[in-house]
Structure 1
Amino acid sequence: MTLTSPFSPFSALDDYIALPRVEGLALSPDGRRVVLTVATLSRDRTGYDRALWSVPADGSGTPARLTRSAKGESGVAFTGSGDILFVSGRPDADAEKDTEAAQLWMLPAAGGEARAVTRLAGGVSGIAATATASDTVVIAANLLVSATDLEADATARALRKDKKVAAILHESYPVRYWDQDLGPAEPHLFSLDLSALEDVLAASTPEAAGSDKKTDAPAPYPADLPRPRDLTPGPGRSGDTAGADLTPDGRTLITALRVQEQRSGRSILVSIDLGSGAQTVLFDEEHVDFEAPAVSRDGSSIAFVRAEDSTPEGPADREIWVADIDGGNPRRLAQGWDRWASSLIFDADDEALVVTADHDGRGPVFRVPLDGSAVRRVTTDEFSYTDVAVDAATGDLVALRSSWTAPSHPVRINRSGEVTVLATPATLPAAPGTITEVETSAEDGARVRAWLLLPEGASAEHPAPLLLWIHGGPLNSWNAWSWRWSPLLAVARGYAVLLPDPALSTGYGLDFIARGWDAWGARPYTDLLAITDAAEARADIDATKTAALGGSFGGYMANWVAGHTDRFRAIVSHASLWALDQFNGTTDSSHYWQSIFSPQGMIDNSPHHSVREIATPMLVIHGDHDYRVPIGESLRLWSELAEHHAEPDGSTRHKFLYFPDENHWVLKPQHAVVWYETVFAFLDQHVHGAAWKRPELLG
């Protein structure tokens, strides 16, 4: 099967943003088909429409489109009977009034039209868990603080809408998260028994649904739909979770619920009986998070991640544990395995866990035996894997995989690790240039490695200019495709791109992370310079034409680089941390960031102290809806660049690209085009000496 297209869209930004994108995967209970969530550019080219596609799970056949709506679909999952569930804001023909809120929809396995199975005033946020041997589903949805039930929530929402009130009263921290203002509604978990759906339909009558007579009482929840049961009715953000899973029979939910603690909190592992709503705490320790619970296929065991709080003294490990379903007989697995699980599920025979983890610039699949024997790596290619599902009948796996030369696409993995590419409606584009690895030894002897992408024709006779791209996180690795940061766009324009994993990067062990702990400006910085030296030593790299780029923590490092060396011709700083004392009190999770820095470390590692030493032209970029790294960071950076480096007439060689309606990421396709146009114009100006060309859409 040919997956790669001879057409390469990386030379034209309009072609790049039009590439279809696979964003999610679900495997049917019988293991015979995979449903993909695929995003395509909207007709007006200002957003992405999402639809569900079905492909055979054995590598045969062709994709078949399942859904088509203006509002799109997401969050796909299967019921135990094989019906497809998804979340969508599409119009509900059975509703008296379209609320425009996203609801839970079901597409029957036997065929027919999709239909809404919820009609919540505030909509459905997502599917939290489904059962494998029943038609029970747990959804996440928000209720207003004052609401005592679904009807009261609908009444209160209608009043706010009628009075055009947007104000939010907060009584706990935080008030926002990433790119969302929290409140006035709070998250809850609700259970639904979809097996009763047909019975509800048969019993539905005009009287049951409520008469047309107007009363002061809230309108009842529709009687023709199964009524969601609130599993987390407690006060506060009782539905905040770090993962959830249902037992196969759908009777018990194992979930990692968030417990509020002043400005912070911790995740505890809780068992919820769906029949009675009773909650039983399984694991709860101070300064420890319990996350990512998974239930075994026979319903007798649970697996989870246990993570102690990190402190300024060093990073804490993330441990894999298993226990009986009631919390008994807990034991740690893979104690000698120095990697962090990014996902885990039980294998088909319940004798091992199937785990993904960052590893040496890749993201393989591993098997972690429950008997305590050695961890075994399943996939050995250059890819990173996500959305892993187990075919219970064969023990094979299906997953999405990607690399820096191939966006996310579905595959099947047999027991021996052999990979078969599945059909996909999102044909993989041809990647320009080549990719290789480079590595060097840091000052302390640590191995530092990176991916290096080279443009066509790069050679000793025609060396390529080099772009140092610094990843965010900082607990992260350059090991998987990113639609937001695509080095292939730079490669298509003749640049070589270096993607290094310096100290603090994941996939190299806890000691490698600890090298940069409470010292972001020390070994992470010297590692970046050392790996850049190694790349520049190559004959096919032009060491006289280099620039540095980074976003989030990468933006922090770009700012640090700007204040500590003049070796680069240009620096791009996106969504960056500038003054740590300011950032740590205004970010959406201030307690965490303050807890991992010592007071002296916060002073010693703040880039703003070196503003006077900046000699390199900087392009500063920020979105106003960025709550993880608030806009104040770049506003202060821009002010201090002007204070110390602007000309008497106010002109400056630095630039500030501002997006009033974007967040930590630039997500709108038309804004992504502007972002890349501005970045490449700035790089061409300072790396190649070209005349500055203002992007047309910037006026």
Structure 2
Amino acid sequence: MPPQDKRLPRRGRAVQAVGVKRFGSLAILAALVVGPLVTRPVHSALPAFSPTPAQPPAAKAPRAMTINDLLAVQVVSDPQVSPQGDRIVYTVKVIDRETGRSNTDLWLVDRQGKTPRQLTSHPGSDRHPRWSPDGRSVAFLSDRSGSTQVWLLPMDQSGEARQLTRLPLDVEGPIWSPQGDRLAAMVSVLPGKSFEETAETLRQRREAKSQAKIYDDLMVRHWDTWDDGTRQHVILIDVADGSARDLIPDWTAHAPPFFSGSSTDYAFSPDGEELAFISEPLTEHPWTTNKDVWIVSTRPGENGRSATPRNLTAGSLGAEAAPSYSPDGRFLAFLRQERAGFEADQWVLTLFDRQTSGVRPLTLKLDRPIEEYAWTADSQAIVATIDDRGSVALVRLDHPAQREYGPDLPRLTPTGTHRGIRPLPDGGVVMVRHHSAAPGELFVLPAGSDAQLQPLTHHNADLIASLDLNRAELFTFKGAEGTDVTGWLVKPPGFDPSRSYPVLCCIHGGPQGAWHDEWHERWNYALFAAPGYAVVAINPRGSTGFGQTFTDQISRDWTGRVYEDLMLGLDHALATYPFLDGDRVAALGGSYGGFMVNWIAGHTDRFKALVSHAGVFDLTSMYFTTEELWFPEWEFGGPPWNAADPKLYRAMSPSTYVESMRTPTLVIHGALDFRVPDSQGLAMFTALRRQGVPARYVWFPDENHWILKPANRIVWWREVHNWLDRYLR
């Protein structure tokens, strides 16, 4: 799955990211690993690969990237600005190569970017830091006690972190009330049961001799997890003693939404008396994308029970996400998709006026999806990021209560990808910035119209300096129907324009996703190019960031204009860049990209080799085994037995064209992939071998739609590179 998965754990979100992408791109939005500033030992011993030093001698010439280098990158994320604006706490994730597990710690850097300081060093995961309103402590999540609980780290004096919560269930996503006396967080509970009753029931199930699962309704599983009856609920935690209560104890739906939900899906009002949260419908259906904004009093109602929540968006059948109160309390902002059943509709920043109850869209005319956003402290502006023509750009919406915003809204950052935006009290913005030749680091954009980005951290500087990396280059061509379409070209290391290089044509997932100028932790341009390949990554019809009409044009047309865009884009690249060898070209894709690779196998012989990861093979069987049914029902106009065009499922299935498949194909799938079940990959492999086509099937019993474990990632890259080497060298 390539960038920004559509069918992936949907989104990142406001103040995080709301890029919700479906199938297969490698998003947003997702991530992993090690490097130079780590203070504990860096281990490196995984099957069949010798370790690569994280800090090679400076005298050595830059070299091609290896999988060990990708696994050695320190992942910088989640910056949080202190209330005074002088310090930023953030997280750094590395991989422990011996255990194959990631380790995340908290770091601190000041506003001027002086030497960052590591705050925690406990094995495991210390993450999700959030400053208390007075700036004296940071709440964070840690699994150091055996389960994930909230801990508090003093910041106004030296001292050890102390455990705040001791619930029998894992806690996620703590945020502070403005008064600093409470935290809101989320816990998965059995509706109507206490935390203790839930934990005991789940323990009994785990220890039962029979592990049979019995269901009376959908959905029975989601992403990589079977439904165990628990639902995510928002809880309140007393900071004085760590006690907690469920704000919505009898709620039968996920609130915030399962899997895609995060701490950006609930927010305190400035007075702390109200909490806004996002919930799925109380009667859940896997054929609806509907999610609403609800509000509830944070004070107990009669008899000590929680107050009854109120639905603010009951008339909307699309999805809402990421509620956020303006600091002055006048407005409640949120993200909205208008069209019901379409998870790739434009995310529009919307304002609810708490005095008049009026609702107004702010960015509908912008024609770009909002990825994340945050209010400035004076309530006079909102900073946001937008998916924009292969970059994720920062914008500023001044005086949001007074106007709407169109395509002329200035982009404040250059090409690249910018996430984790946090406003500074002085008008500047802190963010994580990365691009195709550099992994993420913290940057600050000072206030002012002529301000330039300034780096705050350099965790990966030594590693990147040792590598020969080429920045992705944008090109534009005429696609299907004469429409302007763009793509990226990445040259191989040691590039020599007089040489001829084999070409990898990479196809992103989603299908409503995009290839960005980004550092991807799985489908990494540089690592694809490392053996001496040129990478061509095209954003065809269906891609996000090019206007909603462009995105819409893939629905019910998975194999028409998008296929033509891809072929015309490849033709353009071969004609434009003389160093590309048109006789040695392979196509690779994941999820929808894997579907397109399977389609290509039955429709052209122009490629020497194919790589299909988690690809759809047969649309009808896919419909009956995937979980989120709204996706195929939107994309193909209804279920197979009642579609607008009953022939569509069959006509667009790669399985229909097996007889024409001739190209050697590497097929990869994970057993825990419930989005595109692994039977799709096995069926593709079976079809190829029954036809006598050279093929290999790589199946991971412990992976889902993505390949995440370090040892498995090494196997994945080894198999992909070996397959390409066999047919392109």
Indicate the TM-score class for this superposition, using the shorter chain for normalisation: 0.7 to 0.9
Q: Secondary structure at the match of 1:342?
A: strand
Aligned to 2:685: 638
Deviation at 1:593, TM superposition (A): 2.0
**Residue among 656, 661, 668 paired with 1:621:** 668
Alignment of 1:70 onto 2:123:
yes
**Residue among 167, 170, 173 paired with 1:120:** 167
Indicate if the aligned counterparts of 1:45 and 1:670 stay in contact, CA closer than 8 A: no
Q: Secondary structure at the match of 2:280?
A: strand
Q: CA 1:374–1:139 in 2, change beyond 3 Å: closer, same or farther?
A: closer
Indicate if the aligned counterparts of 1:282 and 1:327 stay in contact, CA closer than 8 A: no
Indicate if the aligned counterparts of 2:327 and 2:375 stay in contact, CA closer than 8 A: yes
Indicate if the aligned counterparts of 1:334 and 1:372 stay in contact, CA closer than 8 A: no
Q: CA 1:628–1:422 in 2, change beyond 3 Å: closer, same or farther?
A: same
Q: CA 1:127–1:315 in 2, change beyond 3 Å: closer, same or farther?
A: closer
Deviation at 1:158, TM superposition (A): 4.3
Alignment of 1:422 onto 2:453:
no
Structure 2 distance, partners of 1:48, 1:116, is: 22
**Residue among 433, 441, 446 paired with 2:478:** 441
Deviation at 1:418, TM superposition (A): 2.2
Indicate if the aligned counterparts of 2:688 and 2:694 stay in contact, CA closer than 8 A: no
Q: CA 1:51–1:477 in 2, change beyond 3 Å: closer, same or farther?
A: same
Alignment of 1:185 onto 2:230:
yes
Structure 1 distance, partners of 2:232, 2:480, is: 48
Structure 1 distance, partners of 2:230, 2:475, is: 49
Indicate if the aligned counterparts of 2:140 and 2:174 stay in contact, CA closer than 8 A: no
Aligned to 1:51: 105
Aligned to 1:103: 149
Aligned to 1:653: 694
Alignment of 1:473 onto 2:502:
no
Residues 203-248 of structure 1, C-alpha deviation per residue, up to 9 Å, x if partnerless? Answer: xxxxxxxxxxxxxxxxxxxxxx332111121242342335122223
Aligned to 1:696: none
The number of aligned residues is 639
Structure 1 distance, partners of 2:116, 2:555, is: 47
Alignment of 1:576 onto 2:615:
yes
Q: Secondary structure at the match of 2:312?
A: strand
Alignment of 1:274 onto 2:298:
yes
Deviation at 1:133, TM superposition (A): 4.4
Q: CA 1:168–1:394 in 2, change beyond 3 Å: closer, same or farther?
A: farther
1:163-174 mapped onto 2 (5 Å cutoff):
163=208, 166-174=211-219
1:363-374 mapped onto 2 (5 Å cutoff):
363-369=392-398, 370=400, 371-372=402-403, 374=405
**Residue among 325, 330, 344 paired with 1:300:** 330
1:477-488 mapped onto 2 (5 Å cutoff):
477-479=514-516, 480-488=518-526
Aligned to 1:318: 347
Q: Which runs of 5+ in 1 are unaligned?
A: 92-99, 198-224, 647-651, 689-699
Highest CA radius of gyration, 1 or 2?
1
Alignment of 1:397 onto 2:397:
no
**Residue among 561, 584, 601 paired with 1:523:** 561
Structure 2 distance, partners of 1:673, 1:62, is: 33
Q: CA 1:422–1:160 in 2, change beyond 3 Å: closer, same or farther?
A: same
Structure 1 distance, partners of 2:214, 2:369, is: 38
Structure 1 distance, partners of 2:203, 2:345, is: 46
Percent identity (aligned): 29
Q: Secondary structure at the match of 2:722?
A: helix
Indicate if the aligned counterparts of 1:248 and 1:298 stay in contact, CA closer than 8 A: yes
Structure 2 distance, partners of 1:570, 1:165, is: 45
Deviation at 1:150, TM superposition (A): 2.6
Structure 2 distance, partners of 1:555, 1:327, is: 49
Residues 83-102 of structure 1, C-alpha deviation per residue, up to 9 Å, x if partnerless? Answer: 212222102xxxxxxxx221
Q: CA 1:628–1:122 in 2, change beyond 3 Å: closer, same or farther?
A: same
Residue 246 of structure 1 aligns to which amino acid in structure 2?
Answer: F
Indicate if the aligned counterparts of 1:297 and 1:346 stay in contact, CA closer than 8 A: yes
Indicate if the aligned counterparts of 1:128 and 1:245 stay in contact, CA closer than 8 A: no
Structure 2 distance, partners of 1:465, 1:579, is: 31
Residues 22-59 of structure 1, C-alpha deviation per residue, up to 9 Å, x if partnerless? Answer: 24322222222222211112150512111111111x23
Deviation at 1:170, TM superposition (A): 3.9
Q: Which moves more between the two structures, 279-288 or 168-177?
A: 168-177
Aligned to 1:285: 315
Alignment of 1:411 onto 2:460:
no
**Residue among 323, 339, 342 paired with 2:371:** 342
Aligned to 2:186: 140
Deviation at 1:66, TM superposition (A): 0.8
**Residue among 352, 356, 359 paired with 1:330:** 359
Deviation at 1:309, TM superposition (A): 3.0
Q: Which moves more between the two structures, 466-475 or 589-598?
A: 589-598
Structure 2 distance, partners of 1:261, 1:625, is: 23
Indicate if the aligned counterparts of 1:168 and 1:184 stay in contact, CA closer than 8 A: no
Deviation at 1:10, TM superposition (A): 4.8
Aligned to 1:234: 250
Deviation at 1:395, TM superposition (A): 1.6
Deviation at 1:615, TM superposition (A): 1.4
Alignment of 1:557 onto 2:596:
yes
Indicate if the aligned counterparts of 1:22 and 1:426 stay in contact, CA closer than 8 A: no
Residue 422 of structure 2 aligns to which amino acid in structure 1?
Answer: A
Deviation at 1:164, TM superposition (A): 6.0
Residues 635-655 of structure 1, C-alpha deviation per residue, up to 9 Å, x if partnerless? Answer: 211222222x12xxxxx5211
Structure 2 distance, partners of 1:76, 1:687, is: 47
Aligned to 2:114: 61
Structure 2 distance, partners of 1:441, 1:59, is: 46
Deviation at 1:172, TM superposition (A): 4.0
Structure 2 distance, partners of 1:326, 1:192, is: 29
Aligned to 2:410: 377
Indicate if the aligned counterparts of 2:219 and 2:285 stay in contact, CA closer than 8 A: no
Structure 2 distance, partners of 1:422, 1:454, is: 29
Aligned to 2:67: 13
Q: Secondary structure at the match of 1:363?
A: strand
Residue 225 of structure 2 aligns to which amino acid in structure 1?
Answer: Q
Higher RCO structure (Cα 8 Å, ≥6 apart): 2
Residue 52 of structure 1 aligns to which amino acid in structure 2?
Answer: L
Q: CA 1:108–1:553 in 2, change beyond 3 Å: closer, same or farther?
A: same
Indicate if the aligned counterparts of 2:113 and 2:455 stay in contact, CA closer than 8 A: no
Structure 2 distance, partners of 1:634, 1:71, is: 34
Structure 2 distance, partners of 1:569, 1:357, is: 37
Aligned to 1:388: 421
Structure 2 distance, partners of 1:251, 1:166, is: 43
Deviation at 1:492, TM superposition (A): 2.2
Residues 384-425 of structure 1, C-alpha deviation per residue, up to 9 Å, x if partnerless? Answer: 11111111x212111111111111111111233521111243
Structure 1 distance, partners of 2:66, 2:707, is: 18
Structure 2 distance, partners of 1:320, 1:301, is: 12
Q: Secondary structure at the match of 2:723?
A: helix
Structure 1 distance, partners of 2:550, 2:202, is: 50
Residue 76 of structure 2 aligns to which amino acid in structure 1?
Answer: V
Residue 244 of structure 2 aligns to which amino acid in structure 1?
Answer: P
Structure 2 distance, partners of 1:310, 1:249, is: 33
Residue 726 of structure 2 aligns to which amino acid in structure 1?
Answer: Q
Indicate if the aligned counterparts of 1:459 and 1:541 stay in contact, CA closer than 8 A: no
